[in-house]
Amino acid sequence: MQNQSDQSYALRLLPGQDLRENIETYVNEHKIQAGWVVACVGSLTDYNIRFANANAGTRGRGHFEIVSLTGTLSQNGSHLHISISDTTGKTIGGHLLQGCKIFTTAEIILTGSAKYIFSRQKDGSTPWEELQITELEE
């Protein structure tokens, strides 16, 4: 549910553009401090996804439908997961990395909130930089 401090954004990526790189550029240009992915549909020719508990990304080429994109967004660091399916319907997913190239389109809807600031820091709960949420005074 959206409240008065929420802002919606819509963008469309074109063939050959990098999915993650363009989302990050958009977040920075629009100064989104606390956002999330609402929806994304489209297709890829190349993917670069880091699977669960892997140290590096796995790359592939072909034709893939984007069946899911989810995550938190901020100028202070984003965390995005993607699921894609191939021409047989086999679906894979994991951390979205740079190197996912658009085939025909990516239609993306984002929401941001002025109530929060998201950042990513090591907090001792895991070895990784995790989401830190700061709620701003109204």
Query: What is the set of domains in the chain, with CATH numbers?
Result: 6-135 (3.30.1330.80)
Strand partners, 7: 112
Per the model's pLDDT, the better-predicted residue between 3 and 28 turns out to be 28
Question: Phi/psi zone of residue 17: left (φ > 0), alpha (ψ -120 to 50 degrees), beta?
Answer: beta
Identify whether the C-beta of residue 101 lies closer than 8 Å to the C-beta of residue 45: yes
**Closest C-alpha among 91, 81, 63, 64 to residue 23:** 81
Identify whether the C-beta of residue 33 lies closer than 8 Å to the C-beta of residue 112: yes
Q: What are residue 84's phi and psi, to 5 degrees?
A: -135, 155
Grade residue 3 by pLDDT with cuts at 50, 70 and 90: low
Residue 4 pLDDT: 60
Question: Phi/psi zone of residue 77: left (φ > 0), alpha (ψ -120 to 50 degrees), beta?
Answer: left
CA distance 30 to 15: 22
- Tens digit of each residue's pLDDT (9 = 90 or more) over 50-72: 999 999 999 999 999 999 999 99
Q: At residue 28, does pLDDT exceed 80?
A: yes
- Tens digit of each residue's pLDDT (9 = 90 or more) over 121-137: 999 999 989 999 999 98
Q: At residue 117, does pLDDT exceed 90?
A: yes
What is the pLDDT averaged over residues 90-100? 98
CA distance 133 to 24: 19
What is the pLDDT averaged over residues 22-35? 98
Query: What SS3 class is residue 137?
Result: coil
**Is the model's pTM score more than 0.85?**
yes
Residue 11 pLDDT: 98
Residue 113 pLDDT: 97
